[in-house]
Amino acid sequence: MSNAKKILSQQQYLNPLLAGLLLGLVLLMTFAITGHGLGATGFTTRLAAWIGMHVAPVVTNANDYLGGMVEEGKPLNAWITWQVLGVAIGALLSAFLAKRIHFQLDGKKFLGGSKRPMTALFGGILAGFGARVAAGCTSGLGLSGAAVLSLAGFTFLGTFFAVGLLASRFLKEEK
Amino acid sequence: MNEILSGLFLGAGFGFVLERAGFGNPNKLTGQFRLTDWSVFKVMFTAIVFAAVGLMVLERFGLVDAGSLFVPPAFLGAAALGGALVGAGFAIGGYCPGTSVVGLMSGRIDAAIFLLGLLLGTVLFAGIYPNIEFLTTLGEYAKADALPEAFNISSLSIDIGMVIAAVGVFVLGSWMESKSKGPVSSQV
């Protein structure tokens, strides 16, 4: 098997140094082409606005935060929507080639055992709320913000890791 | 480049690399917080340093205009509070927003639930926005948005410092991995 083919089909995760260099290359290309970095919650916020527009149009229109996004009726019409769609396609392709697609409820061992659906939901709520306070998430503010040496990016990463370390002490591993 | 195409291609590269690194797997991701798997630190530090050095080089050659790059405003209190909440959400939920998309695409139901939580958290934020709007501009540092201006140091010096810090992360991380059960190297 050729080397490239081996890397594409192997079950083992990629060496972190190589993965980091490749991620850095994608990030650098993103800055060079678009002038900004990579993100994620820019999309989920717009998706929330889009769902709101269809489920509760009056409330969403009147909302101070989401109202502006639905004003023209196309909250999903943004670069970040295509980028997150791209993330999904790229991840699917990679997982498929490495035969890593398995339907499962993962993370029970470390994240709550039988209460895993609750830890996933609660963690998502915290992250979704926090990303709106900071106007960015691990990708948008942490990764991209640190690459342009921003104070906000490094500040975000600092508390992100400190509180993550602390919070994970409260989760017991299932034997 | 066309906006749709650039989003799709750059996003696909992002998603592909995240999945390759094992970042769709919540056991691997949260291993960073248990200090048994340092891949999150290693990958993020390497990517940040590579992009920061790359941007500096591209700017020197006039290929990128530093003034036109988006630098997030220095609302440091908001960044700290948001970072704390996203960090807690990551440790408890097993993902950050971007990696939950990767987890979902590899068939993980818990990642779908996390994504649902993200939407709920966003709606909750929007619902009480008038009362908490002040949080989003908390702790503004008026003097500068980026490290070079804030501390009057050249980008080159900061980049060199970050390379050294990244090497330190690899050394410390690999040592701590060898003292514990080590990194999650595959799905099973």
Six-digit token string for B8: 């799709």
Is residue B130 within 8 Å of residue A63, measured between CB atoms?
no
Range of the domain at A61: 1-103
Is the domain of A81 the same as that of A6? yes
- Residue partners of B61: CB distance under 8 A and separation at least 6: none
Last residue of a domain, one of A65, A80, A103: A103
- Residue partners of B144: CB distance under 8 A and separation at least 6: A151, B74, B150
Is the domain of A26 the same as that of A1? yes
Q: Mind listing the pLDDT tens digit for each residue in B86-100?
A: 999 999 999 999 999
Is B94 in contact with A107 (Cβ distance < 8 A)? Answer: yes
Is the domain of A118 the same as that of A153? yes
Is the domain of A80 the same as that of A116? no
CA distance to partner chain B, nearest, from residue A98 (Å): 8
Chain B residues touching residue A16 (CB < 8 angstroms): 21, 38-39, 42-43, 46
Is the domain of A8 the same as that of A78? yes
* Distance (Å, whole) CA B107 – CA B102: 9
pLDDT of residue B186: 80
Last residue of a domain, one of A73, A103, A133: A103
Q: Mind listing the pLDDT tens digit for each residue in A159-172?
A: 999 999 999 999 88
Nearest to B79 among A30, A122, A141 (CB): A141
Q: Mutation target for A interface from B1, B2, B10: give the one with most A CBs within 10 A.
A: B10
Last residue of a domain, one of A103, A124, A156: A103
pLDDT of residue A173: 83
Most confident segment among A89-93, A107-111, B63-67? A89-93
Residues of chain B with pLDDT under 50: none
Is the domain of A122 the same as that of A168? yes
Which whole-number Å values give the CA distances from A139 to B2, B32, B70, in the listed order?
A: 22, 16, 14
pLDDT of residue A5: 60
The residue type of A41 is T
Contacting B residues, span 108-167, partner chain A, CB-CB under 8 Å: 108-111, 113-127, 129-130, 132-133, 135-136, 141, 144-148, 150, 155, 158
Is the domain of A12 the same as that of A98? yes
Beta-carbon pairs below 8 A across chains A and B? 523
pLDDT of residue A172: 83
Is the domain of A75 the same as that of A159? no
Look at chain A and report how many structural domains it folds into: 2
Mean pLDDT over residues A3-23, rounded? 81
Is the domain of A96 the same as that of A10? yes
Is the domain of A98 the same as that of A112? no
Q: What percent of chain A has pLDDT over 90?
A: 90
ipTM over 0.90: yes
Is the domain of A109 the same as that of A84? no
First vs last C-alpha separation in chain A: 39
pLDDT of residue B37: 96
CA distance to partner chain A, nearest, from residue B161 (Å): 12
Is residue A94 within 8 Å of residue B15, measured between CB atoms?
yes
Please tell me the pTM assigned to this model: 0.94
Is the domain of A80 the same as that of A125? no
Is B48 in contact with A130 (Cβ distance < 8 A)? Answer: no
- When the pLDDT of each residue in chain A is averaged and rounded to a whole number, the result is 94
